[in-house]
């Protein structure tokens, strides 16, 4: 089984068949993570590069672990210690590593569309690990995977995405993925942090968090991206926490068995209260584990997949 494309660039253009295939494959690969010996030979001889132009803990590490668990050789370029600081272009960096024999390049870059550009100029597979304010498809898939594992379905669920929608590539990937899979998606946040076109994506937008959370099966809280803010989009983080912060009181409006999600890293006490982040409804640590399973599935479907060698 293979994906339709050699690349995973976003969920806007991914078919439901491919999304379903990735989720199902992750389901069967997840148990490898809890084995005492976390190693299967599936991707032996394959070489995977992580090329990150922005900081990351979860995404970069989970891709690297996913590769290692499946016996691929993984290489990391930290742009701060590479020839990027000497002015090397993205094209030259990518072509340089490709001729060394890379089968896959996993990239995070501050410019929207950069991964699409890379996919056009390389024969190797390209995975978008976050491009500017555009998409973060593997985060969208791991969020859908977490919901599906806990709730048994995606179709018909009400998912509230709360916070800084404007700067969020996580929000866009979740919206495209979840709406295609039949979920009802609503978003909420300050009007300055909600793009004017958002309802064209098939979601309902609110400026009162309470309206979005009411009756929700899932509340996905987004990080306030302080590093991307322009001045004046909200008065202060204290004010933001008071009006838009997700806390116990607001979550009482959700369904009794709601899931609380956050892609991380969190600003505790700003967009999310610390007690709910660590509370019984939280899936935040589970999302991180599921991130490894989703990334193993994508590596398997793009680089392996022709034969079933997942079992020892
Ligand atoms: N959720 C996420 O992308 O986290 P990192 O920035 O740590 O990779």
Please tell me the predicted confidence (pLDDT) of residue 305: 52
What b/e readout covers 198-212, taking b as 16+ CB neighbours within 10 angstroms? beebebebbeebeeb
- The whole-model pTM stands at 0.95
**Rounded distance, CA 190 to CA 224, Å?**
11
Centroid of ligand 1 to alpha carbon of 312 (angstroms): 31
pLDDT at residue 236 greater than cutoff 90: no
Residue in 108, 265, 285 to alter for ligand 1 test, most ligand atoms within 8 A of Cβ = 265
**Rounded distance, CA 287 to CA 259, Å?**
11
pLDDT at residue 87 greater than cutoff 80: yes
Centroid of ligand 1 to alpha carbon of 208 (angstroms): 27
Residue 291 CA: nearest ligand 1 atom is: 1
**Rounded distance, CA 285 to CA 289, Å?**
7
C-alpha pair distances (Å), 312 with each of 32, 242, 298, 299, 304? 10, 52, 20, 18, 15
* Helix (H/G/I), strand (E/B), else coil: 299: helix
Mean pLDDT of the chain: 94
Residue in 50, 52, 54, 57 to alter for ligand 1 test, most ligand atoms within 8 A of Cβ = 57
Centroid of ligand 1 to alpha carbon of 308 (angstroms): 30
> Which tokens hold the place of 295?
């990334």
Q: Which of 99, 42, 37 is nearest to 67 (CA)?
A: 42
**Residue bearing the bigger pLDDT, 272 or 308:** 272
Name every protein residue with a CB atom under 6 angstroms from any ligand 1 atom: 56-59, 130, 139, 263-265
DSSP 143-198: HHHHHHHHHS--TT-EEEEES--TT-HHHHHHHHHHHHTT-EEEEES-GGGS-TTG
Residue nearest to atom 1 of ligand 1 (CA): 263
The answer to whether the CB of 292 falls within 8 A of the CB of 69 is yes
The model's pLDDT over 33-81, given as tens digits with 9 standing for 90+, comes to 999 999 999 999 999 999 999 999 999 999 999 999 999 999 999 888 8
Residue nearest to atom 4 of ligand 1 (CA): 58
**Rounded distance, CA 57 to CA 153, Å?**
29
Residue 263 CA: nearest ligand 1 atom is: 1
**What pLDDT band is residue 234 in, cutting at 50, 70 and 90?**
confident
What is the spatial order of strands in the sheet that 47-52 belongs to? 73-78, 47-52, 104-109, 125-131
C-alpha pair distances (Å), 195 with each of 84, 111, 188? 32, 18, 11
Centroid of ligand 1 to alpha carbon of 264 (angstroms): 6
Measure the CA angle with vertex 134, ends 140 and 229; round to 5°: 105
DSSP 126-150: EEEEEETTTB-HHHHHHHHHHHHHH
Give the catalytic positions in this structure.
58-59, 86, 108, 136
Q: Which residues contact 52 (CB under 8 A, 6 or more apart)?
A: 60, 76, 77, 78, 79, 107, 108, 129
Centroid of ligand 1 to alpha carbon of 223 (angstroms): 10
Please tell me the predicted confidence (pLDDT) of residue 311: 44
Residue in 50, 52, 58 to alter for ligand 1 test, most ligand atoms within 8 A of Cβ = 58
Residue nearest to atom 6 of ligand 1 (CA): 56
Residue 129 CA: nearest ligand 1 atom is: 3
**What pLDDT band is residue 286 in, cutting at 50, 70 and 90?**
very high
What percent of the chain has a predicted confidence (pLDDT) above 90?
A: 90
The residue written with tokens 């295609």 in the block is 180
Residue 130 CA: nearest ligand 1 atom is: 3
Residue 264 CA: nearest ligand 1 atom is: 1
What is the maximal distance between C-alpha atoms in the chain?
Answer: 56
Centroid of ligand 1 to alpha carbon of 294 (angstroms): 14
> Which tokens hold the place of 198?
């958002």
Q: Which residues contact 272 (CB under 8 A, 6 or more apart)?
A: 221, 245, 246, 247, 262, 266
């Amino acid at each position: 089984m293979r994906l339709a494309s050699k690349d995973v660039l976003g969920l806007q253009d991914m078919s439901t068949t491919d999304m379903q295939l990735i989720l199902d494959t992750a389901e069967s690969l997840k148990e490898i993570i809890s084995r005492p010996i976390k190693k299967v030979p599936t991707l032996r001889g394959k070489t995977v590069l992580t090329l990150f132009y922005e900081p990351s803990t979860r995404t970069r590490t989970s891709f690297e672990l996913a590769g290692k668990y499946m016996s691929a050789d993984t290489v990391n370029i930290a742009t701060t210690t590479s020839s990027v600081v000497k002015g090397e272009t993205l094209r030259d960096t990518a072509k340089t590593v490709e001729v060394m024999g890379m089968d896959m390049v996993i990239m995070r870059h501050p410019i929207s569309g950069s991964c699409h550009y890379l996919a056009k100029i390389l024969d190797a597979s390209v995975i978008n690990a976050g491009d500017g304010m555009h998409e973060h498809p593997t985060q969208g898939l791991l969020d859908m995977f977490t919901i599906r594992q806990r709730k048994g379905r995606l179709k018909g669920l009400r998912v509230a995405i709360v916070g800084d929608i404007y700067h969020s590539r996580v929000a866009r990937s979740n919206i495209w993925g979840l709406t295609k899979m039949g979920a009802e998606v609503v978003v909420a946040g300050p009007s300055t942090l909600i793009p004017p076109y958002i309802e064209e994506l098939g979601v309902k937008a609110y400026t009162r968090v309470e309206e979005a959370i009411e009756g929700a099966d899932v509340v996905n809280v987004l990080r306030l991206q302080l590093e991307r803010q322009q001045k004046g989009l909200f008065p202060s983080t204290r004010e933001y926490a008071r009006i838009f912060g997700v806390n116990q009181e607001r979550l009482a409006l959700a369904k009794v068995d709601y899931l609380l999600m956050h892609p991380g890293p969190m600003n505790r006490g700003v967009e999310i209260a610390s007690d709910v982040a660590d509370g019984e409804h939280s899936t935040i640590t589970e999302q991180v584990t599921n991130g490894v399973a989703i990334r193993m599935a994508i590596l398997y479907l793009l680089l392996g997949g022709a034969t079933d060698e997942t079992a020892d």
